[in-house]
Structure 1
Amino acid sequence: MKLFVGIDVSSQDMKACVMNLDGETLSSQTVENNLTGASYLRNQIVDIAQKNLIQEIQIGMEATSVYSWHPSMFFHEDESLKKFKTKVFTINPKLIKKFKESYTDLDKTDHIDAWIIADRLRFGRLRLSAVMQEQYIALQRLTRMRYHLVHNLTREKQYFLQHLFYKCSSFTAEVESSVFGNAMMELLLEKYSLDEISSMDIQELAHYLQEKGKNRFTDAECIAKSIQKAARSSYRLSKCVEDSIDLLLATSIESIRSITKQIKELDKAIRKLLDGIPNTLQSIPGIGPVYCAGILAEIGQIERFDNQASLAKYAGLTWSKHQSGKFQAEETNMIRSGNHYLRYYLVEAANSVQRLEPEFRAYYLKKYHEVPKHQHKRALVLTARKLVRLVDALLRNDQIYTPRRKVDK
């Protein structure tokens, strides 16, 4: 006998519905979303299970950001629930929404949602128990925060480039050096006007760049000349507007430096935590600690997935099929669902791997030249799909990557 518990989780409370194998509701109640409420609900579930001679319990809840994390971990780790072979599922809300559409006479209430979740569990075919081991969860918090910071850094750099165009409209066209280097940012922080930069002594400006750039410029004088050329050919701003732009540039520079420092600290923590998780992914050329950690953190135990196809679907690297009778659509769209964090790290890793691994490079180029539009994006996503098969094989078999041997003809 099985027992199905659907829980609708919010920041304040949890609505729970306990259902038996026949679809009969045995209990329906609301508890607070805290340790006290979860403990009370646990006791109620155990009591019902004992009275009904239950052998297995399935507990499900929607993946509602952070609100479902604590309850799912609590029920997953509880010793009294383990005696009933309890499985805990955090379910994609889209799956519950689609399932609910089959019921035409239901209202939208939290208790109904809990009932729907319990009934979805009873329906079955939820092969993935989404609760991962603690080390993967700890790693996931770090890698997702890094993902968040990287996107913030990209957005901040875009703002910076917009403000730089106001300040010096010809800078990116004339200066063949990264504007995000320390020397360039220090120069902009000095808040020189374009006329002041144009009238500077070349040797003095070159020495300033070399000092702030820690002697990394191969030809600092050439860079100094290009900066002066950009300053002379750029539009001029009024004093009022220029002061505002200088302030915005300084603010962006401080934000960029702060975020960059935070990412470096996260990378150190990720490497340290990754050392305690045995894996073979870093044996693939192009996959370092960060990409490896991002992939592992979202996958967790590879046993959670039936095969590489289910892993690809979880990552959203699957294309929908359109077929009717003898008709088979040639163009299909990639599914919009899936774990976007895992998809991000797989695609980024694929881009790195295809630069260093001949087999993946050849595959990428083949897909790149198959179409006239969106070549890089399409080829990269398909290469990421190919990488999924390799990741699944290495993790599932605990193997080290070995390139295919080329046979001389």
Structure 2
Amino acid sequence: MKLFVGLDVSSFDIKVCFLNGEGDKLNAFTVSNDLPGAKQLRDEILNSTQNQSVSELRIGLESTSVYSFHQSMFLHNDESIRALDGQVLVMNPKQIANFKKSYSDMDKTDEIDAFVIADYLRFGCLPMSVVKEEQYVALQQLTRARYSIVRQITQEKQRFLQYLSYKCNTFTEEVESSVFGKAMMDLFLENYSLEELSRMPLEELVDYLRLKGKNRFPDPKHVAKSIQKAVRSSYRLDKVVEDSIDTILGTSITLIRTFEKQKQEIDKSIKRIMKGIPQTLQTVPGIGPVFTPGIIAEIGQIEQFDDETKIAKYAGLYWRKHQSGRFTADETSLTRNGNQYLRYYLVEAANSVKKEIPEYGEYYAKKFKEVLKHQHKRALVLTARKFVRLVDALLRKNQIYTPKRSVNI
């Protein structure tokens, strides 16, 4: 017996459809989206397979973030489902929507969507992902949270620089030190006016920078001079405007520091989880402790991918062909499908690795010279695609990267 279970999940209930291997509907019902509902669903699956030899059991649902998480993990970890070799699979909603177009005159209802998901499972060869084990799920939540926080830090720093240009429009040009260092941030929090900074005795400003910077400035006097030069050459604001800008800068500094502290806490949790996941990916020069967890979290169990081409496709690192008759397009765009997080980590890691490993640096340079448009972007994505082969080999064989004895990829 083959059983395909399609689940259409909403915040309050789950529409369920059972299909057999021939596509016949065996059952259709609704359960609540909570633990009792999940147990009821599990029991219905077991009842349908009772006293029968199950050759294939697949349970599928769309990847809808928090709505689908609990059901997928419950069924994935259930011992009775595992005893039947049941697989819980998640699918991209776009792929389900495209698959549904193959049916003519089909309405949009949750019951019908559950049927379409079950039928999608029946075809088997279509793109799907196995639910990750708990440690990969936990790592993925942390790495994605870190990704979001880093983006927020970047956006907030851009906003800070924008308002800093209101207060002192020549600061970033004249001052040869990062405006985001602790000493500089503390200086902005003091709410000094430009006039106060310009009239401040130089030695007093030097002592302030030395104290707040914990003697890390190689030449605090030079930095102090550049600050006073910047404030003296900048436009002056009306006091009411300058006060409002000081308030915004202070708020921005507080946000940046809060985000940085959150990132540090997440990094500690990532490090703890990574200690329990065997991997050799971080032995690759340049990949580091940020990209490694991100790649591993998104890939999960390497065994769910047949080969490196499936990983590349999952990440969206492939190009659609554009061919008609004898015409084949020379320029095609990178697909917009795939896991955006995995694609980000692979591309950023490749950008770092190409600086450390000559083989990847030479490959990037070769691809850069092949075209006249989009040179860097194209060469970097192609280098990331090449890097996928190395990632697959190291994770699948659990071997350490050795440049002299290259991995068989």
> Contact 2:19–2:25 (CA<8 Å) still a contact in 1?
yes
CA separation in 2, counterparts of 1:184 and 1:370? 45
Deviations 1:4-31 (A, max 9, x none): 1100011111000111122221111111
> Contact 2:137–2:297 (CA<8 Å) still a contact in 1?
yes
CA separation in 1, counterparts of 2:378 and 2:242? 42
CA separation in 2, counterparts of 1:160 and 1:63? 36
> Contact 1:167–1:242 (CA<8 Å) still a contact in 2?
yes
Q: Answer with 142-151 or 193-202: which moved more.
A: 193-202
CA separation in 1, counterparts of 2:220 and 2:372? 41
Q: Answer with 232-241 or 146-155: which moved more.
A: 232-241
1:52 Cα deviation (Å)? 5.6
> Contact 2:319–2:334 (CA<8 Å) still a contact in 1?
yes
Partner of 2:178: 178
TM-score by length of 2: 0.96
Structure 1 residues 176, 374: CA separation in 2 closer, same or farther (over 3 Å shift)? farther
CA separation in 1, counterparts of 2:199 and 2:270? 48
CA separation in 1, counterparts of 2:327 and 2:51? 55
Partner of 1:198: 198
1:51 Cα deviation (Å)? 5.9
Q: Answer with 49-58 or 114-123: which moved more.
A: 49-58
Partner of 2:301: 301
Aligned AA for 1:395? L
CA separation in 2, counterparts of 1:373 and 1:227? 41
Partner of 1:269: 269
Aligned structure 1 segments of 4 or more residues deviating by more than 4 angstroms: none
CA separation in 2, counterparts of 1:324 and 1:132? 40
Partner of 1:352: 352
3-state SS of 2:236 partner: coil
Aligned AA for 2:99? F
In the alignment, does 2:261 pair up with 1:257? no
Partner of 1:227: 227
In the alignment, does 2:34 pair up with 1:24? no
In the alignment, does 2:136 pair up with 1:133? no
Aligned AA for 1:282? Q
1:393 Cα deviation (Å)? 0.9
Q: Answer with 294-303 or 373-382: which moved more.
A: 373-382
Deviations 1:74-100 (A, max 9, x none): 111212222322111101101100000
Deviations 1:267-298 (A, max 9, x none): 11111110111111011001222211111011
Aligned AA for 2:296? L
Q: Answer with 250-259 or 80-89: which moved more.
A: 80-89
Aligned AA for 2:215? N
3-state SS of 2:130 partner: coil
CA separation in 2, counterparts of 1:191 and 1:154? 23
3-state SS of 2:29 partner: strand
| Pairs within 5 Å for 1:10-409 | 10-50=10-50, 53-126=53-126, 128-404=128-404
Aligned AA for 1:130? V
CA RMSD of aligned residues (A): 1.6
1:371 Cα deviation (Å)? 3.8
Give percent identity, aligned residues only.
Answer: 62
CA separation in 2, counterparts of 1:376 and 1:162? 28
Aligned AA for 2:66? V
CA separation in 2, counterparts of 1:373 and 1:202? 51
| Structure 2: gaps spanning 5 or more residues | none
